[in-house]
Amino acid sequence: MLKTMFKGAAVLAVSCGVLSGCGTDGTDAQLDPQAENEEIISNLVEAGFPADDIMVADGLVYVGRDAHVTLEASREMLRPSEVSAEQYRTTNLVSTSTVKKICINPTSTFNSYTRLSQGLDLAIANYNGLGLAFTMARGPTTGCNANITAQTMSGTGGSAGFPSGGKPYGTINIGTGLNSYSVDVNEHVITHELGHAVGFRHSDYYNRSISCGSGGNEGSAGVGAIHIPGTPTTATVGGSIMNSCFRSTETGEWTSSDITALNYLY
Ligand SMILES: [Zn+2]
């Protein structure tokens, strides 16, 4: 989700996921509750969660405002296959062993908005300029291992989802109001939404007021918020294309920490 900084804060829905531990039993008979919680907290810190984002209440460990973390979930975060990734990433990522080419397919309505259409080309070029383990291509085209539909929504923001099953999220929504902003702003918003689709959380997810002027902590949102090594743990205005809110002066280009994050993950 991306909003202009004068809009109200968005609220991410919390769903069942590894962090919320829905349907799983995280108890471990070999550990007493206090030792168990100490291990969970230790695992969370090692996985990159800021210490002030971790809370113990009624004998359970929480991260963010409302996501209970089980011992099993905290251990999963540290497994080698779970590449620890500021910027912040979701627990699930795109599997580059199977996804080498991601095709972005704009709807005809999307294509009818000149600056949205130009912004899409520039956003794709942003990813392809980094020599990542996957390429992106504007569809319709062939050889796609995964597809993302680019469609329109009302307003001047955007929305997308997060990867699952090793594939990027299948849709990005871009506000048609952005057609009256610069091509660079369109490039920024589309690059940002594609960033969510491949697993990036907001760089200021823990305090949206950094880029939005108001708003709080998005928490783990059921998808995880794992710090990417080599990037700052603290967000700044203009410091990342993945900040929650954008300005009308955005250039659409990666920042140095964005590049670090992408090169680390992919
Ligand atoms: Zn966003």
User: Would residue 147 count as lying in a domain?
Assistant: yes
Number of domains in the chain: 1
Mark residue 120 as left, alpha or beta (left: phi above 0; alpha: psi -120 to 50; beta: remaining): alpha
Measured between alpha carbons, how far is 42 from 186 in angstroms, rounded to an integer? 41
Residue 42 is predicted with a pLDDT of: 77
- Per-residue pLDDT band at 96 (split at 50, 70, 90): very high
Alpha-carbon dihedral of residues 236, 239, 245, 247, nearest 10 degrees? Answer: 110
Instruction: State pLDDT tens for residues 225-242.
Output: 999 999 998 899 999 999
User: Would residue 261 count as lying in a domain?
Assistant: yes
Distance 47 CA to ligand 1 centre (A): 22
Strand partners, 50: none
Residue 11 is predicted with a pLDDT of: 32
Strand 67-68 and strand 60-63: pairing? antiparallel
Alpha-carbon Rg for the chain, nearest whole angstrom, is 18
Measured between alpha carbons, how far is 121 from 230 in angstroms, rounded to an integer? 29
Q: Considering only 32-41, 144-153, 207-216, which range has the smallest mean pLDDT? A: 32-41
User: Would residue 44 count as lying in a domain?
Assistant: no
| Collapsed DSSP state (helix, strand, coil) of residue 44 | helix
Q: For 148-154, what is the mean pLDDT?
A: 98
User: Would residue 55 count as lying in a domain?
Assistant: no
- Residues with a beta carbon under 5 angstroms from ion ligand 1: 1-2
Residue 27 is predicted with a pLDDT of: 28
Residue 85 is predicted with a pLDDT of: 29
Domain range enclosing 235 = 2-16+89-265
Q: Considering only 56-65, 66-75, 255-264, which range has the smallest mean pLDDT? A: 66-75
Report percent pLDDT > 90 for the chain: 65
Q: Is the pLDDT of residue 24 over 70?
A: no
User: Would residue 124 count as lying in a domain?
Assistant: yes
Distance 190 CA to ligand 1 centre (A): 10
Measured between alpha carbons, how far is 91 from 66 in angstroms, rounded to an integer? 17
Residue 76 is predicted with a pLDDT of: 61
Report percent pLDDT > 70 for the chain: 77
- Per-residue pLDDT band at 23 (split at 50, 70, 90): very low
User: Would residue 77 count as lying in a domain?
Assistant: no
Residue 137, domain CATH: 3.40.390.10
- Per-residue pLDDT band at 15 (split at 50, 70, 90): very low
Distance 38 CA to ligand 1 centre (A): 32
Distance 115 CA to ligand 1 centre (A): 19
| Collapsed DSSP state (helix, strand, coil) of residue 209 | helix
Q: Considering only 74-83, 220-229, 239-248, which range has the smallest mean pLDDT? A: 74-83
User: Would residue 40 count as lying in a domain?
Assistant: no
Residue 91 vs residues 7, 104, 164, 258: alpha-carbon distances, Å: 28, 23, 9, 18
User: Would residue 37 count as lying in a domain?
Assistant: no
Q: Considering only 90-94, 104-108, 175-179, 230-234, which range has the smallest mean pLDDT? A: 230-234
